Structure 1
Amino acid sequence: MEFKYIAIAICLILTILFFVKEWRRPNRARLGWRLAATGIAMICFALFIIPITYKVQKPERLNEINLLSPGVSKAQVDGLKGRTVTSDRQLYQSLKIPGLTLITDLPYFLQSEPGINHLNIYGYGLSKDQLQELKDYQLDFYPAAGPKGLISASWNSRLKNTEQLSLQGTYQHVGKLPVKLLLQGLGTPLDSLIISTEGENTFSLKARPRQSGKAVYHLIVMQDQDTLSKEPLALEVKDAKPLRVLMLAAHPDFEYKFLKEWFFEKQYPVILRSRISKDKYSTDFLNSERTNVNRIDKGLLNKTDLLIIDEEEMSMLSGSELGAINTAVDLGLGLLVRISMQKPGTAISKYFNRYESPALKNKSLTVGFSEEKHFFNPLPFEQTLLIRSGSEDQPLVVEKTGRVLVNTRISGMGKLTGSVIPATYHWLLNGQDTDYADFWSEVLTQTARKAALEESWYMEPAIPAPRQKLTVTVEQALVEKVPVIAINGGKLSPLQNIELPFQWQATAWATDRGWNALQLNGKTEYFYVYGNEDWEGQRNTIKLKNTSAFVNAQKLNTKSLETSILVNKQISLWWVFIPFLLAVTFLWCETKML
């Protein structure tokens, strides 16, 4: 027997017993009122157990569903018509709304429901791969409010030990209290900045990794003493290929001497030629084979990655030698000119617009890179000669007031750099080896000939997560050769780009969180798989943009078929509770007070 029938029977028996009790009371005053109140109270009691329901018509769109994604708010889902589903288990558990269905796989669900042709997407949206599977469906997108905090970031995750780590991104700041962005490497603070302006704020943090190999740095967001987020930055630092350096000096000096020894310690092939008289030279060959350097010609320059020459020596070169240098720079050679004259001495050095400023006589010189807030330790001399940077120039090193000391510009395929700093060896004499190494590493990186890569690769997405689809793109010089690509030992099958035959692509799935191995033509590279909770704001921002662009580009216009269905609706218990309360209150008062 069903429970409701048992409840009705019990209520009827209790009603009869209460009626008999009221009828047998000696005081028969207000008997009718007492019987009516008893009946009302028992009817309401029964309705507490078995609520009254009624049927209403509800509009239902048979070929349309609502798809909820992370970021959807309770306000967005209130009053939704039609079926509502989600494939996110965490979202399903947190919303707890009636009628919400959890589906394990969206494509499989849609195949099992061939009548569905229209999806309303709520929240942050879907990934690129998920959207491609919905290209034959009519989509409407109702985006959630944009994420807060770190919404985008990018950095050079594979760099040489002569390069600096550059982290750039956007922070969505909400509230009046400022936040601090701290770049931390191996437990050491490297760079930081304060953001106090509400809205989107771009930021840039830089550092020079001191280790080699793989490492995971962190970008920490702090407010007062609280840590709002801590995002990992994986990077791999490799040793740079030794540069082939040729130095031409008008006369020996300490700057060339210390620089030659520094190159030798780094195992760079170095040739130093110092002029003794008009046609006599002193030569040093370090990590390099001896060759004739009495004349600067095309053959010698083709074997050189960086030419360092002072302006006085350049003025003593012949016209053919200057022509060979100019041609070599256009073909990729890096040229660093040490400027010491007030007026240009050669056609090449005239590119640097120099000037004198006696007001800078401060007994010491404090320099730093133009794109960084960090300055090196002071150099113990006055600096009056400066460079005026033009529209085609890139300031590389400035003094503390922002005036340019080292300037670089593109010349054909090579770089032309001019420096008015006469002596950097004082850093070594004062035990400030780090300043010296950082200065010359940056100058060399920005100036020297760029090595031709036989092959290169990159991965999308740049911040992969477990169980996410990966696209590996390989570019190589040999068009006819199929690259051998494997991830964690599993071989992939690359496809050649028809329009760009030097480009190959392969797809795989991210599995293990942490460092993963990528084998490319027998060489082992590494990439990092982040956790699902890492860089969540950036992933959601990308989903918002991708979903909006995908939906806006659609040209489908499928009308949804709307019908009505009958659903059960329960009356509010307040309509039962109030009569019950009035009835029992009357019975109590009638017994005690009337």
Structure 2
Amino acid sequence: MDFKYLVIGLCLILGGFLLFKEWRRANKARRALRLLASSIAVICFALFIFPVTYQVERPERPHELNFLSTGAIKDTVKNLKGRLLTTDAGLFQSLKMPKLGLIADLPYFLKSEPEINHLNIYGYGLTTDELSALQGYQLNFHPSARPKGLISASWNPRLKSSETLSVQGIYNQEGDLPVKILLQGLGESLDSLTINAKGENTFSLKGRPKQTGRAVYHLIALQGKDTLAKEPVPVAVQPALPLKILLLAAHPDFEYKFLKNWLFEKQYPVIFRSRISKDKYSTDFLNTENINVNRINSTLLNKIDLLVIDEGELEALSAAELASIRTAVDSGLGLLLRITGVKATTAISRGFDRYESPELKNKTLTVQLPEQERLFGPLPFEQALFLRTATTDQPVLTEKTGKVLVSSRIHGMGKVTATVVPTTYNWLLNGQKEDYADFWSALLNRTARKAAATELWNIDPVIPVFRQRINITVDQDAAEKVPLIISNGLRLSPLQNIALPFQWQVSTWATKPGWNELNLNGKTAFFYVYREQDWKEQRNIAKLKATAAFVKGQKSTINPLETNILMKKQVSIWWFFFPFLLAVTFLWYETKML
């Protein structure tokens, strides 16, 4: 027999028995109240076992889904109604919400649920690849607060041995205590700074790697003795190709002498020619073979990567020699011009406008790199000559007040750089070898002829993570030739870009953290794959920006359908407990006290 009917039968028997006993009782006073109290007690007792339920209509969106991405906060999502899903196993374990489901991949799940057309995204959002699979869905983004710490950083991961490693980024400071940002590698500290202000603070650190090959530096955030963050900064340093440099001097001076010796120590092939008289020259050949440099012609200049010349020697050259220099610069030669006077004497130097600033007299000269805000050691002389830059010029080095000392411009396929700094060897005399090296390295790297690269490649995303998909893009000269791409011993099949036939793209997976080998047409290169815990804040910021931009740019034309469903709701047993308590209390009191 069904338990429900058995209980009802027993309650009816109990109720009949109590009513019969109350009716037959000798004391007939308050009979009606006793009968009513007995009936209420039995009925409430029965409703304890079988609560009363009723049906209500509730609006529901069967086509809507709540997706929790990394960074979702429990207090924000605990009261959400409808389906809750996430692909973050760590978030799934930390929230511990019974109604939260864990799925392997959001786009794959949506393929199996074609009726879903509306997604509410909570947390830091999705990556660009994940968002590309959500075209056609209506999205609402509820972002979490911006993460704190190292939220952005960029650096030059592939550089020459003569170049400087520059790390720039943003640190989001929330506490009151100062934070020290440190660039460290190979057992030494390259640079550091301290952040005191709250909010997002930009920083710039630099250092010159002393080794060639691959190395992993670290960007460290310290607060007192606590390490708040330690992020890897992988760098591949390639030996600098020896630039072939020709120095032409109107007369020998200490500036040329120290520059010639410094270039020789750095293993640069150098030809130095200084004028003795009209057609007589003194020549030095360092790290290179002897050739005839009495006449400057196209044959000579085609073998040179950089020509360094002062205005006095430039004025002394013949018209044919000047024409050869202009043609060579148009073909890619780098020209470094030392300007010594206010008035230009040749057509080549006339392109740089210069002026005098007498208010700087009787002061030392302090040079700085504008992009790094780095001050060099002071030079012990008055500097009154400066350059006035045009829209086609790019300042390379400035005086600490912002007046331009070195300026560069593109001329055909080459570059022309002008400097008004008369002497820099004082840095060497004062033991400031790094300042001297940084000054001339900046001029050489900015001006010299660039080697033609037959292939260029890049990795997307910029921070590839272990076990995630990466895209490799290759640009090469031969558009009709399929590039040979081998990653970690596995040959990949690239796809040619229809619009850009010289560009090829291939997708693969990051199969191991650390340095990975990439072989491109027989040339070996390396790229770094980060661990899942590396640069989390920066990747979260990237997802925040990508998701917000994607949601803002989408067309909200899909309206989720809203339907009403019937739900059963249970009446609280407290509504029956209090009448039951009053009824039995009255029966006891009436029997014992009245």
What is the TM-score of this pair, normalised by structure 1? 0.83
Matched, 1:333 2:333: yes
Aligned to 2:501: 501
Give the C-alpha shift of residue 463 in structure 1: 0.6
Aligned to 2:412: 412
Matched, 1:491 2:491: yes
Distance 1:388 1:551, change over 3 A: closer
- What is the alpha-carbon distance in structure 1 between the residues aligned to residue 117 and residue 387 of structure 2? 66
Give the C-alpha shift of residue 532 in structure 1: 2.2
2:120 maps to a residue whose letter is N
Aligned to 1:24: none
- What is the alpha-carbon distance in structure 1 between the residues aligned to residue 540 and residue 314 of structure 2? 56
Aligned to 2:436: 436
Aligned to 2:220: 220
Aligned to 1:230: 230
Aligned to 1:158: 158
- What is the alpha-carbon distance in structure 2 between the residues aligned to residue 319 and residue 583 of structure 1? 123
Contact 2:138-2:558 at 8 Å conserved across structures: no
Give the C-alpha shift of residue 497 in structure 1: 0.9
Alignment: residue pair count: 579
Aligned to 1:22: none
Give the C-alpha shift of residue 473 in structure 1: 0.3
Instruction: Please give the residue correspondences for 1:540-555 in structure 2 after superposition, counting only pairs within 5 Å.
Output: 540-555=540-555
Deviations 1:369-425 (CA, angstroms, capped at 9, x unpaired): 233333233334443433334443322223344333222222232222222223322
Give the C-alpha shift of residue 446 in structure 1: 1.1
Instruction: Please give the residue correspondences for 1:278-297 in structure 2 after superposition, counting only pairs within 5 Å.
Output: 278-297=278-297
- What is the alpha-carbon distance in structure 1 between the residues aligned to residue 507 and residue 345 of structure 2? 57
- What is the alpha-carbon distance in structure 2 between the residues aligned to residue 392 and residue 63 of structure 1? 57
Contact 2:122-2:144 at 8 Å conserved across structures: no
- What is the alpha-carbon distance in structure 2 between the residues aligned to residue 581 and residue 72 of structure 1? 47
1:217 maps to a residue whose letter is Y
Deviations 1:146-201 (CA, angstroms, capped at 9, x unpaired): 523344332221111222233334455557x4754624121414143636264x55
Aligned to 1:15: none
Give the C-alpha shift of residue 571 in structure 1: 6.5
Aligned to 2:193: 192
Contact 1:59-1:81 at 8 Å conserved across structures: no
What is the TM-score of this pair, normalised by structure 2? 0.83
Contact 2:184-2:220 at 8 Å conserved across structures: no
Distance 1:83 1:298, change over 3 A: same
Distance 1:104 1:397, change over 3 A: closer
Match of 1:234, SS state, is strand
Aligned to 1:465: 465
Give the C-alpha shift of residue 567 in structure 1: 4.9
Aligned to 2:447: 447
Deviations 1:230-275 (CA, angstroms, capped at 9, x unpaired): 3322221111111110000112222222222222222222111111
Aligned to 2:539: 539
Aligned to 1:128: 128
Contact 2:190-2:207 at 8 Å conserved across structures: no
Match of 1:387, SS state, is strand
Distance 1:478 1:116, change over 3 A: same
Give the C-alpha shift of residue 444 in structure 1: 0.6
Matched, 1:142 2:144: no
Contact 1:181-1:219 at 8 Å conserved across structures: no
Aligned to 1:311: 311
Distance 1:430 1:580, change over 3 A: farther
- What is the alpha-carbon distance in structure 1 between the residues aligned to residue 2 and residue 493 of structure 2? 63
Contact 2:172-2:198 at 8 Å conserved across structures: no
- What is the alpha-carbon distance in structure 2 between the residues aligned to residue 313 and residue 196 of structure 1? 53
Aligned to 1:18: none
Distance 1:71 1:575, change over 3 A: farther
Give the C-alpha shift of residue 62 in structure 1: 3.0
Contact 2:66-2:84 at 8 Å conserved across structures: yes
Deviations 1:87-143 (CA, angstroms, capped at 9, x unpaired): 2222222333342222223344334334434433333322222233333x5232223
1:138 maps to a residue whose letter is Y
Distance 1:409 1:113, change over 3 A: closer
Contact 1:364-1:380 at 8 Å conserved across structures: yes
- What is the alpha-carbon distance in structure 2 between the residues aligned to residue 319 and residue 506 of structure 1? 52
Aligned to 1:109: 109
Contact 1:138-1:557 at 8 Å conserved across structures: no
Match of 2:326, SS state, is helix
Aligned to 1:530: 530
Distance 1:197 1:86, change over 3 A: closer
Deviations 1:279-323 (CA, angstroms, capped at 9, x unpaired): 011111222232221111122112211101112111111122122
Match of 1:259, SS state, is helix
Contact 1:156-1:165 at 8 Å conserved across structures: yes
Match of 1:472, SS state, is strand
Aligned to 1:511: 511
1:153 maps to a residue whose letter is A
Instruction: Please give the residue correspondences for 1:162-177 in structure 2 after superposition, counting only pairs within 5 Å.
Output: 162-172=162-172, 174=174, 177=176
Matched, 1:83 2:83: yes
Match of 2:375, SS state, is coil
Contact 1:59-1:82 at 8 Å conserved across structures: no
Distance 1:582 1:294, change over 3 A: farther
Distance 1:572 1:61, change over 3 A: same
- What is the alpha-carbon distance in structure 2 between the residues aligned to residue 479 and residue 431 of structure 1? 51
Aligned to 1:21: none
Contact 2:138-2:557 at 8 Å conserved across structures: no
Distance 1:272 1:65, change over 3 A: same
Distance 1:401 1:142, change over 3 A: closer
Match of 1:154, SS state, is strand
Match of 1:130, SS state, is helix
Match of 1:466, SS state, is coil
Match of 1:257, SS state, is helix
Match of 1:326, SS state, is helix
Contact 1:264-1:287 at 8 Å conserved across structures: yes
Contact 1:485-1:493 at 8 Å conserved across structures: yes
- What is the alpha-carbon distance in structure 1 between the residues aligned to residue 67 and residue 492 of structure 2? 34
Give the C-alpha shift of residue 448 in structure 1: 1.1
Give the C-alpha shift of residue 359 in structure 1: 4.2
- What is the alpha-carbon distance in structure 2 between the residues aligned to residue 167 and residue 54 of structure 1? 66
- What is the alpha-carbon distance in structure 1 between the residues aligned to residue 276 and residue 514 of structure 2? 58
Match of 2:91, SS state, is helix
Distance 1:499 1:429, change over 3 A: same
Distance 1:57 1:96, change over 3 A: farther
Distance 1:75 1:375, change over 3 A: same
Deviations 1:553-589 (CA, angstroms, capped at 9, x unpaired): 5457444344444556566788799999999999xx9
